[in-house]
Amino acid sequence: GAGVSQSPSNKVTEKGKDVELRCDPISGHTALYWYRQSLGQGLEFLIYFQGNSAPDKSGLPSDRFSAERTGGSVSTLTIQRTQQEDSAVYLCASSFSGSGGMSTGELFFGEGSRLTVL
Partner 1 sequence: KNQVEQSPQSLIILEGKNCTLQCNYTVSPFSNLRWYKQDTGRGPVSLTIMTFSENTKSNGRYTATLDADTKQSSLHITASQLSDSASYICVVSAPSSNTGKLIFGQGTTLQVKP
Under the rule (CB under 8 A), what is the footprint of partner 1? 4, 31, 33, 35, 41-43, 45, 48, 50, 55-56, 58-59, 91, 93, 95, 97, 100-104, 106-112
CA 12 to chain centre: 17
Nearer to partner 1, 48 or 65 (CB): 48
Q: How far is the CB of 67 from partner 1 (least distance, A)?
A: 14
Quick one: 35 or 65, whose CB is closer to partner 1?
35
Q: Which is nearer to partner 1, 88 or 93 (CB)?
A: 93
Q: ∠ CA(112), CA(13), CA(87), 5° rounding?
A: 50
Measured from the CB atom, is 72 or 80 closer to partner 1?
A: 72
From CA 69, how far away is CA 49, in angstroms rounded? 7
Q: How deeply is 85 buried, as exposed, middle or buried, from its count of CB atoms within 10 A (0-12, 13-18, 19+)?
A: exposed
Closest CB 65 distance from partner 1, rounded Å: 16
Provide the minimum distance between the beta carbon of 84 and partner 1 in the complex, in angstroms, as a whole number: 21
β pairing state of 10-13 and 113-117? parallel
Smallest separation, CB 16 to partner 1 (Å):
27
Read off the DSSP letter of residue 73.
S
